[in-house]
Structure 1
């Protein structure tokens, strides 16, 4: 399990935990008077998508347009792919070829 995301709101953290699949755990920690919630789980593209991380829902729309040979925001697409390269290294994932 890896740290997937951190939340300041307990309800938001519990909702995120309910969205992902596989082994998962929500841990809280106090920093002075504030409590933060760390969501641990399996680092998969599916789980990251369900958490709306790394603009994956937006990438899905851009890839659909690209595959249909329709106009799409190429600079935004490149920006998201660049961010995904970082995420892939961080979470030890491979970016699916059909996204590239």
Structure 2
């Protein structure tokens, strides 16, 4: 398990934890007077999508209409893939070929 995200609100953190599949753990820590909730889980594209992270919902929408892309769609796809490449390196997961 790895740290997937942090939250400032306990309820929001609990909701996010319920969305994950596989092993997960929610841990809190106090930073001065603020409580931070760390969500640990299995780093997978499915879990990231369920959490609404890394523009994966937008990527899905783009790929569904790939045949009709305009220049701005291609540019956005390139931006999203650049960030996903960084995420894949950080978490040791591969970007699926059909997203390229």
Q: TM-score, normalised by structure 2?
A: 0.96
Moved over 3 A (4+): none
Show CA shifts across 1:12-49 (max 9, x none): 00000000000000000001110000000000110001
CA RMSD of aligned residues (A): 0.7
Residues matched between the structures, number: 98
List alignment gaps of at least 5 residues for structure 2: none
CA distance in 2, matches of 1:84, 1:58: 12
Q: After TM superposition, give the deviation of residue 71 of structure 1 in Å.
A: 2.3
CA distance in 1, matches of 2:86, 2:2: 15
CA distance in 1, matches of 2:97, 2:4: 23
Q: TM-score, normalised by structure 1?
A: 0.96
List alignment gaps of at least 5 residues for structure 1: none
CA distance in 2, matches of 1:23, 1:91: 16
